[in-house]
Structure 1
Amino acid sequence: MTINEKQDEIIDNFDLLDELQEKMRYVVDFGKKLPSMPEEYQTEDNLIRGCQSKVWLHSEMRGDKVHFEADSEREAQISRGLVSLLIWILSDEKAEDVANADLYFIERIGLKSFVSSRRSGGLASMIHQMKQFATQQAAKNQTAA
């Protein structure tokens, strides 16, 4: 699946949900599927700044694809769900694709309307960190070519 196909699937799933509680539950349930990240990656350097709770993001290249892993404090269910959605959409895609991805699903599902402004800032920080890593890797790939 491409980045856009994954986003479209999330949009389709959200379209089936009417109430805010259902949408929040969807995000939380998505986070429950996120595997725990090895403790060795839960470092200060991997901490996402601007999040309401502690969220760690580890980024690495696997071949020509960007791979992301994340974790959060257990009580941070919404943050865990948000980073899980982003990982599902962006992880294991080419660096150039991640760097240039238009994450239109956020607006289409109205995500910012049902997360607090602080969580919205954390979401922006997650996206920034993922895209920044991908942009750096894409630049390295172009230099090496």
Structure 2
Amino acid sequence: MEYPIHHTISKVGLPLIVTSDSPKLCFLVDTGATHNLLFSFVYEHLKDSFTAYREKNFVMGIDGEKKETMQIETELSFGGQNSSALFSVIDSDRAVAQIQSETGIQIHGILGIPFLIDNKWILDFSNLKIKSA
């Protein structure tokens, strides 16, 4: 799989990727994120699409606060390639609203280092592409 990110970087300055399947979900690809995150408003609207785990997790949210989170698993499709991933569900409504206000784009979650490693994704910033090994 090769997924171009030149458009999103030139338009909003962020590496964003959108799922191939419905519902279309937009994720920020964050090489500094130690967890995969799904925002709570997405979870609330699509609960039946996820498998919830009993285990809780603690993460530092994008707003800088430590939060206890629910763990969920889901399958996502990018460029026709399916990927299963574990996510922490966090409430970051203010941060998401600020990003949407500044960029005009609503993001639904963050793909962090665990997703990149598990799916063997490589961010090629020289050519502005995401590649899978």
When the two structures are superposed, what TM-score results if normalisation uses the length of structure 1? 0.30
Higher relative contact order (CA 8 A, sep 6+): 2
Larger Rg: 1
Larger fraction in strand: 2
Larger fraction in helix: 1
